[in-house]
Amino acid sequence: MHTYDSPEGRANVAAIESKLAQLDGVFVQFCSREGYTFSPLKVELWPRRRVWQRREIDRCMDLTMEIGVQQVLDHGFDPNLRWSLFASGSLHPHRDPNVRILSRAIFQHVPFSDLASVLPNGLERGLEILKSMTEAEIIAHGERLQP
């Protein structure tokens, strides 16, 4: 079992990040066309990608791995590694002090080997989901963040 501080653990995380970076052009193209911002995120051990837009409703789409931290550290990149894309909307805290996030799956369980062909249409479907989210829907159905 590798730890994040081990050379093997860091190399395995870096291998996933390197493969994920190959898809950055798809995100950049979408963002330039739709007025979103691209964020190649690595939250702690978790390489992922986000596109977001902050307006009356904060809208974002997150591409995340479906794997546990220890699996990332021990095994690194695998073309069969599963990914999911989610669309989320929230209101600014000054509009709703009980911050709620409404999240919808765009796709789930897609192996990395298929992401390049699935991602462009997924981003377009996600955009339609985000455009249809309303303040009332977020308040009524959004999951409340715990303080």
As a whole number, mean pLDDT of residues 111-134 equals: 97
Rounded distance, CA 96 to CA 114, Å? 39
**Model pTM?**
0.90
Q: What is the DSSP letter of 67?
A: S
Q: Distance between CA atoms of 67 and 127, rounded to whole angstroms? A: 25
**Shortest CA distance to 64 belongs to which of 81, 84, 45?**
84
pLDDT of residue 67: 86
Q: Computed from CA positions of residues 118, 121, 123, 129, in that sequence, does the dihedral angle turn out positive or negative?
A: negative
* Per-residue pLDDT tens over the stretch 22-76: 999 999 999 999 999 999 876 556 789 999 999 889 999 999 999 888 888 888 8
Buried b / exposed e along 116-130 (16+ C-beta atoms within 10 A)? eeebeebbebbbebb
Distance CA 32, CA 76 (A): 31
**Taking the domains of the chain in order of start, what are their residue ranges?**
7-144
* Of 65, 53, 23, 57, the residue nearest 40 (C-alpha): 23
Mean pLDDT of 12-31: 94
pLDDT tens digit sequence for 62-118: 999 998 888 888 888 999 999 999 999 998 766 656 788 999 999 999 999 999 999
Describe the strand order of the beta sheet including 57-65 as a list of residue ranges.
37-43, 46-54, 57-65, 82-91, 100-111, 143-144
